[in-house]
A and B are shown apart, each in its own frame.
Chain A
Amino acid sequence: MARQSNEAFFWVLFSAGGVVAALLIPVQLFLFAIAFPLGWLPAPSYEHLMALVRLPLVRIYLFVLCCLSLFHWAHRFRYTLYDGLQVKHLNEIIFTLCYGGAVIGTMVAAYLLWTIA
Chain B
Amino acid sequence: MEMAETITLEIARYSPEQDTAPHFQSFEVPVHKEWVVLDALNHIKDREDGTLTYRWSCRMGICGSCGMMVNGEPKLTCATFLADYATKGSKIRVEPLRYFPVIRDLVTELGDFLGKLKKVKPWLIHPSQAPLSQGEFLQTPAQLERYKQFSMCINCTLCYAACPVFGLDPIFVGPAALALAQRYNMDSRDQGSGERIAVLAHPDGIWGCTFVGECTRVCPKHVDPAGAIQQYKLTAVFEWLKSFITPKGQDI
Instruction: Tell whether any CB of A sits under 8 Å from a CB of B in the complex.
Output: yes
Map CB proximity to B onto A1-45 as digits: 1 under 8 Å, 0 otherwise. 111111111011000000000000000000000000000000000
Chain B CB within 8 A of A86 CB: yes
Contact A1 B239 (CB under 8 A): yes
Q: Are B197 and A8 closer than 8 Å at their CB atoms?
A: no
Residues of A within 8 A of B (CB): 1-9, 11-12, 79-80, 82-83, 86, 88
Measured in the bound complex, the distance between the Cα atoms of B241 and A6 in whole Å is 10
> Assuming the A-B contacts A83-B164, A86-B168, A88-B169, are A4 and B210 also in contact, with contact meaning beta carbons closer than 8 angstroms in the complex?
no
Instruction: List, sorted by A's number, 12 A–B pairs whose CB atoms are closer than 8 Å.
Output: A1-B243, A1-B246, A4-B198, A4-B201, A4-B202, A5-B202, A6-B240, A7-B201, A8-B237, A8-B241, A11-B233, A88-B168
* B167: nearest chain-A partner, CB-CB: A83
Which A residues are in CB contact (< 8 Å) with B198? 2-4
Give the residues in chain B near A88, CB-CB below 8 Å: 168-169
User: How many angstroms between the C-alpha atoms of A79 and B240 in the bound complex?
Assistant: 21
**Which residues of B are at the interface with A, using a C-beta cutoff of 8 A?**
164-165, 168-169, 194, 197-198, 201-203, 207, 210, 233, 236-237, 239-241, 243, 246, 248-251
Instruction: Summarize B's interface: helix, strand, loop or mixed.
Output: helix
Contacts of A7 in B (CB 8 A): 201, 203, 207
Taking a contact as CB atoms under 8 Å apart, the answer to whether A83 and B197 are in contact is: no
Chain B residues in 8 Å Cβ range of A3 = 198, 243, 248
Take A11-B233, A12-B237 as given contacts and tell me if A5 and B203 are in contact as well, using a CB distance cutoff of 8 Å.
yes
Question: In the complex, what residues of A have CB within 8 A of residue B248's CB?
Answer: 3
Given known A11-B207, A83-B210, contact A4–B197 (CB-CB < 8 A): yes
List B contacts of A2 (CB < 8 A): 194, 197-198
In the complex, the answer to whether B201 meets A8 with C-beta atoms within 8 Å is yes
Q: How far is the CB of A102 from chain B (nearest CB, A)?
A: 18
Task: Point out the residues of chain A lying under 8 angstroms from B239, CB to CB.
Answer: 1, 4, 8
| Residue of B165, B201, B250, B251 with most partner-chain A CB within 10 A | B201
